[in-house]
Structure 1
């Protein structure tokens, strides 16, 4: 059984089990009838009572006939499952639609459906279908909900068949299952401007092609629909075919979201932990920047970038952007703590080029890692950092990244390097911190303080 498709019960496995598997499904009533029939037949043979023998045969044959009929019926039931939607934010509900089709020429008996779901999604759903006529169908649905992000398998669907007399009950499973993806909760962020140019023109007014003069023009072959006023006659004469000037192709504004996943940088677990707050924050920023028209990518402390394909690893425009957004949300749905101890791999990845706007969610930083994070600012435009306040999220450990009293010093280190750095205590709302970051940058720009950045940076 597949999502949106049709599956049949496993007939091959049933044939291998044969009559033994069918007899194993006899209910208490069926076993009682069979035992009574055998006992009556034995007594009739001993006592020489023909009438009692006929009664015994009737009692013994009835459950066997029901078993044989039910054994054949189980191959003729098809089912399908549909998730609406297949990707849902944490704490939101998804509905699972089940459909059963009787593809045989005979009506079914009593059917009981049971779908296997992880316990975090709720109780196991059960449905009773009284009777499905030949060629008929039945549709049922149930809701699932999880406060924990992740990927959860649904199924396989179990079908329990029973005869009208209640003599036999067989349970069979469909082979296919579906996956429900629970993504982090996404917070709607206010459309603030963190100084800089309007979106859509990219990193410091860079252009992919130069159009300074005739010597800088890079022509291409003529395509149907091109404006004839763009024909480059010198190149046309040189190549012997129509050549046109390329149009100016401005780069989209870029945003990189850096998520610190080091296990030693966070304390606690569960949906209200500091790490889950950081994951949800990264998801919120990614969605917000995509809605604003930015090319985005997700980077983790272990140097992994999502999406890994595309121009410089950033999500492209149009349909590719939507697919990349789904890929990033799927990644955040299952992301977990890493075994890393530093941010060097992330720094190596980020120092390769201009990142545009850089938004980072850090756990607790020691002095060395704060210095590494400060150097990441050199290759980006505007840079925002949210540091988890370990004092409010949970007590630190002796093996942790350092005393919490040095957090202000870490924030000062980042700010001196040009970051807009804010502490994120327990219960902090990301939208409030987002507005505070905008106010802090505006204040620094107005006062000309050290570390403030000027024009040429991407806004959000």
Structure 2
């Protein structure tokens, strides 16, 4: 019986339903039946007629309750509503349940419970008093998870019992809902990163340039077009009404690269470096969409979020809210990849790397540092937030600090704005630092002296 669709709560199979109803006898019902059978046996042995009648009464009462409850045809409809259906990790969502009695008979005492994963909290249970014919009852409960993911809610279960408490039957609605717990996001300051062009295509090519009569590319007339834009020469050539295309600025683009390699992160849990990187990527996506950029989410295995745009960018053909929701749903379930390198992401960027590149990277060896360095050559501007797993796992490690600083220096030498990510630091602080950092290597810096505050410990 699907949620939101009226239907009887009894079973359609009479024999199977009656058998399941007998299994629904409570402890009280089983005790009454056992006492009745024992009294009847004693009455037969002792020849006591009155005791036999008492025994039959005790034994038959639970069976009568089973039959009556089984034959009762309550018609109820159940529905569930999430508010909101997409919530950030650590925030609460409210689930609203509604029961409608669509039959002509009032119901008895009902117990309503909903199945939820253990990470969202205890299983909610509600006792509903007698629901009149055509009446409704509404209840709600809260769920909360510190772990991102997609969590099923349901099925909604309705427990029926007789007035004597002899029997209980459970009926389930078939519909499920899904609560999406997305990564936490931080508001980022509106800074101009090194080499970044802002808004709708500053410094970008125009999609069409009206440089003269020979450069005009007409299109067919559409309802609502200004008649002053009619191109009569093309109209005479094609035999249909043609208009001049307007000059359309191309949106500035931004690619957010998330390193999900398992070998790049050594810690685990809600406060791990990988979860920080996922949260950072989510914050950067939302921030750039709010600034009017066409944004693409890319992982180390070369996969991007599917959207309406053929080039992989979202925001120009979709509303920013829809694009952000689609990417957040992807980040809600993103997990470690088994790949060992970033070459697939580099191949994607090599084919289409126009615009700003923001990367959230884990541990980099010498080979992967060279791959990341080549990504910068294909992009207009590049900012990298690099995590050192040794710091996140056990605090400051002098043995790992020097190689990590060398990796940062190599990225800066290739033109990246490279920023180290200490454990527990807020992204807004590092984002502000990235806006103040000049791209490229610092004069007079080498090796472990990276020339910026907040580097590797």
TM-score over 0.5 (shorter chain): yes
C-alpha distance in 2 between matches for 1:346 and 1:125: 44
Residues 291 and 199 of structure 1: CA distance in aligned 2, closer, same or farther (over 3 Å): same
Does 1 or 2 have the higher relative contact order (CA < 8 Å, sep 6+)? Answer: 1
Q: Deviations over 1:388-432 (max 9, x none)?
A: 022320159xxxxx9553111111111111111000010111000
Q: 1:145: how far off?
A: 0.5
Residue matched to 1:174? 173
Residues 9 and 276 of structure 1: CA distance in aligned 2, closer, same or farther (over 3 Å): farther
- Pairing 1:287–2:286 present: yes
Q: 1:49: how far off?
A: 5.3
Kept after mapping to 1: 8 A contact 2:220/2:243: yes
Kept after mapping to 1: 8 A contact 2:25/2:66: yes
C-alpha distance in 2 between matches for 1:159 and 1:106: 17
Residue matched to 2:419? 422
C-alpha distance in 2 between matches for 1:377 and 1:16: 71
C-alpha distance in 2 between matches for 1:241 and 1:367: 61
Kept after mapping to 2: 8 A contact 1:10/1:174: no
Q: What does residue range 422-441 of structure 1 map to in structure 2 within 5 Å?
A: 422-441=419-438
* Secondary structure in 1 matching 2:175: coil
Which shows bigger deviation, 152-161 or 89-98? 152-161
Q: Deviations over 1:258-298 (max 9, x none)?
A: 00000000111111000000000000000111111111010
Kept after mapping to 1: 8 A contact 2:6/2:102: no
Q: What does residue range 25-424 of structure 1 map to in structure 2 within 5 Å?
A: 25-44=24-43, 51-73=50-72, 76-194=75-193, 196-201=196-201, 204-317=203-316, 319-395=318-394, 403-424=400-421
| Aligned residue pair count | 440
C-alpha distance in 2 between matches for 1:312 and 1:332: 20
Q: Structure 2: 5+ residue runs without aligned partners? A: 446-457
Under a length normalisation based on structure 1, what TM-score does the superposition of the two structures give? 0.89
C-alpha distance in 1 between matches for 2:421 and 2:6: 49
* Secondary structure in 2 matching 1:354: coil
C-alpha distance in 2 between matches for 1:434 and 1:162: 60
Q: 1:26: how far off?
A: 1.2
Residue matched to 2:448? none
Q: 1:43: how far off?
A: 4.8
* Secondary structure in 2 matching 1:394: helix
Q: 1:228: how far off?
A: 2.1
Which shows bigger deviation, 15-24 or 142-151? 15-24
Kept after mapping to 1: 8 A contact 2:414/2:440: no
Kept after mapping to 1: 8 A contact 2:74/2:107: no
Q: 1:12: how far off?
A: 4.8
Under a length normalisation based on structure 2, what TM-score does the superposition of the two structures give? 0.89
Q: 1:241: how far off?
A: 2.1
Residues 178 and 185 of structure 1: CA distance in aligned 2, closer, same or farther (over 3 Å): same
Residues 431 and 7 of structure 1: CA distance in aligned 2, closer, same or farther (over 3 Å): farther
Residue matched to 2:451? none
Q: 1:89: how far off?
A: 0.3
C-alpha distance in 2 between matches for 1:8 and 1:279: 44
Q: 1:46: how far off?
A: 5.4
Residue matched to 2:20? 21
Q: 1:146: how far off?
A: 0.6
Residues 445 and 289 of structure 1: CA distance in aligned 2, closer, same or farther (over 3 Å): farther
Q: 1:193: how far off?
A: 1.6
C-alpha distance in 2 between matches for 1:67 and 1:77: 20
Residues 126 and 303 of structure 1: CA distance in aligned 2, closer, same or farther (over 3 Å): same
* Secondary structure in 2 matching 1:322: helix
Q: Deviations over 1:354-408 (max 9, x none)?
A: 3311100000101111110011112222210000022320159xxxxx9553111
Kept after mapping to 2: 8 A contact 1:299/1:346: yes
Which shows bigger deviation, 27-36 or 291-300? 27-36
C-alpha RMSD of matched pairs (Å): 2.5
C-alpha distance in 2 between matches for 1:172 and 1:124: 16
Residues 11 and 254 of structure 1: CA distance in aligned 2, closer, same or farther (over 3 Å): farther
Residues 436 and 355 of structure 1: CA distance in aligned 2, closer, same or farther (over 3 Å): same
Q: 1:166: how far off?
A: 0.9
* Secondary structure in 2 matching 1:313: coil
